[in-house]
Amino acid sequence: MVNAKVPPRIRMLLASGAATLLVAGSAVPSAQAADGGGKDGGKKVLTVAVSQSVDSLSPFLAQKLVSTTVHRLAYEYLTNYDVRDAHPIPGLATAWKTSPDKLTWTYTIRKNSRWSDGKRATAEDAAWTFNKMMTDENAATANGSFTANFKKVTAPDPETLVIELKKPQATMLALDVPIVPAHVWEKVGDFSKFNNDKQFPIVGNGPFVITDFKVDQFVKLRPNKDFWRGAPKFDELVFKYYKDGDAAVAALKKGEVSFVQGLTPAQATALKSADNIKVNDAPGRRFLALATNPGARSKDGKTFGSGHKALLDPAVRKALLHATDRSTIVDKVFQGHAVEGEGYIPPRFASYFWKPTARQKTAYDPAKAAALLDGAGYRKNGSGKRVGKDGKALDLRVLCHATDPNDKAIGKYLQEWWGELGVGLKVDCLDNVSDPWLKGDYDLAFDGWSVNPDPDFVLSIHTCAALPATPKDSGATDNFICDKQFDGLYAQQTAEYDAAKRTALVKQMESRLYDTGYMNVLAYPNAVEAYRTDQIKSIKTMPEAAGNLWGQDGYWSWWSAEPAAGSSNSDGGTSMGVVTGIGVVVVLAVGLGLIVVMRRRSTAEDRE
């Protein structure tokens, strides 16, 4: 349910949906306004078109990729990821060391980071952020897995942060937690309801400052002139919402937006021949999966939702996998702009990439699928329909993001393949897949997450600890999975500092997820995106060699972007359309539902 903290389904959307980035002015009346821009002091505006809406501007609640992308721009983390190879580099912390027993970590906080209201960012801000997450379960909604093992966090002085652990934790240089200003956030009451979207500009210390936000319309940002690494070069950044991918592409062609992400093969092919447009097609950091409802439940032991009971049978789940042709999905749906799915971690992260053994692999084999269903007691009747011992037909539902053409296309193939098997399938394509997903009212769902260089987060969302406390809560779970064997491996890998040993444990976890059949990775889509070269002179991909621009593990793309000569536009009004205003505006589009994590969620609302 994309990445990804807010309902898992929300993160999912991000990954599977086509997020589009546009360069738009904070106030632009029409396309004509851009034509005469620059001659009278027009501003340089970078507009990014997106098809996913922001779930929250609170770093403590946000899980969608579009939201976590905004937070990476607005706040510093203790560490960052190098743009070349994603190894940990300084962020708010300039250095770090650990005790011999690995239970105490000491970070040196930089002296030259300031909040956008002028106050200095200190170790106390970081300590307050982590302590709030440790003592308030609502503040731990999005990133609680990172602090669950923290014993004590203190700030002996403005430049020293000390974190004491209950047991060793291998993610201490990959704490993807935005550090917030204590003097602002200590005034907040209920963290479960505070979305940080009423008072602008929002105080932060990242490369950009959030200046405005309208639900399902846009997010606007301006450069932080005091950012320690240097201010961004555009005057304004805007993430603008486009529900329709074709509309976003049309806007790119007209020069109304600067960047579009999540292109279909047909869109990418058409844009390659367009003037002043560059198409980037790189290995992606996300996966697209078919998630199976394992029987939605909460930590208090209560089950809920309307998931089909037949899917609790491993033989039925395995049969459906044998009736799913992943190679056809890659060839026909993605037209080669993807890699066939196998393990949970995409091949871009080579050290953690896992492949099933020949004996494990659920290869496309309709005959085997039929035999498994026969053995499970679901035989064909005279009409060719599979029926159980109770005489009821085996009819299933799959949640689909209405704005994601890939979901729809794959859904049609599944209807054909499973129909030949005698299994009925209804493809429910909704604008909002989050609500039924959170309620457990689904049988299967298109899911996906953007994976970070350290895979801990996308693994944590499948632990029993991530389940909602009660059926009324959302929790941090992606798909209600709670498996003791998986949990045991998760605990081991979290505490393992030896890289080789930890990698082996992560691969065992991927193997377990594969064998249970609740998370079935169909493909690893490429990052297919495009931008206008007459608006953007240069921009960094991550990794720098054959990498992506949208949804990076860091802020490199938008921070590094340089305006093309003569690309400025004049500020002409109050409507969002053409690139004109001063400052950077980011507009976020409403996604197809959830998707899904940046962190990470993609189809369920890609998180980062």
Tell me the pLDDT band of 568, cut-offs 50, 70 and 90.
low
Of residues 560 and 244, more confidence is placed in: 560
Distance CA 542, CA 594 (A): 25
Whole-angstrom CA distances from 560 to 46, 375, 554 are 12, 58, 11
DSSP 145-200: HHHTTEEEEEEEETTEEEEEESS--TTTT--------HHHHTT---TTT--S-SSS
Percentage of the chain lying above the pLDDT 70 cut = 87
DSSP 191-251: TTT--S-SSSSPP--SSEEEEEEETTTEEEEEE-TT-TT---SSSEEEEEE-S-HHHHHHH
pLDDT for the residue numbered 79: 98
Distance CA 606, CA 604 (A): 6
Q: Is the pLDDT of residue 518 over 80?
A: yes
Range scoring the smallest mean pLDDT among 20-24, 161-165, 409-413? 20-24
Range scoring the smallest mean pLDDT among 337-351, 438-452, 570-584? 570-584
User: What domains, with CATH codes, occur in the chain?
Assistant: 18-75+206-282+546-585 (3.40.190.10), 79-185 (3.90.76.10), 286-525 (3.10.105.10)
Beta bridge partners of 157: 160
Tell me the pLDDT band of 607, cut-offs 50, 70 and 90.
very low
Percentage of the chain lying above the pLDDT 90 cut = 82
The helix/strand count (H/E) of the chain reads as 17, 24
CA angle 493, 498, 503 (to 5 degrees): 50
The answer to whether 404 and 446 have CB atoms below 8 angstroms apart is yes
- Listed residue (249, 246, 605) closest to 430, CA to CA: 605
Tell me the pLDDT band of 536, cut-offs 50, 70 and 90.
very high
- Listed residue (248, 240, 233) closest to 213, CA to CA: 240
The predicted-structure confidence for 172-227, as pLDDT tens digits, reads as follows 999 999 999 999 999 999 999 999 999 999 999 999 999 999 999 999 999 999 99
The predicted-structure confidence for 230-261, as pLDDT tens digits, reads as follows 999 999 999 999 988 999 999 999 999 999 99
The predicted-structure confidence for 192-204, as pLDDT tens digits, reads as follows 999 999 999 999 9
Q: Which segments within 336-384 are labelled E, that is strand?
A: 338-340, 379-380
Whether residue 543 has a cis bond before it, omega within 30° of 0: yes
Of residues 549 and 587, more confidence is placed in: 549
Region 26-30: what's the mean pLDDT?
Answer: 31
Radius of gyration of the chain (CA): 23
The answer to whether 333 and 265 have CB atoms below 8 angstroms apart is no
Instruction: Return phi, psi of residue 160, to 5°.
Output: -130, 125
Range scoring the smallest mean pLDDT among 22-36, 109-123, 156-170, 443-457? 22-36
The predicted-structure confidence for 291-330, as pLDDT tens digits, reads as follows 999 999 999 999 999 999 999 999 999 999 999 999 999 9
SS3 state at 516? helix
Distance CA 326, CA 363 (A): 8
Q: Is the pLDDT of residue 606 over 50?
A: no
Tell me the pLDDT band of 32, cut-offs 50, 70 and 90.
very low
> Which H/E stretch holds residue 506?
helix 499-516
392: how many CB neighbours lie within 10 A of its CB? 12
- 540: its two tokens: 């960094």
Task: Tell me the pLDDT of the chain averaged across its residues.
Answer: 88
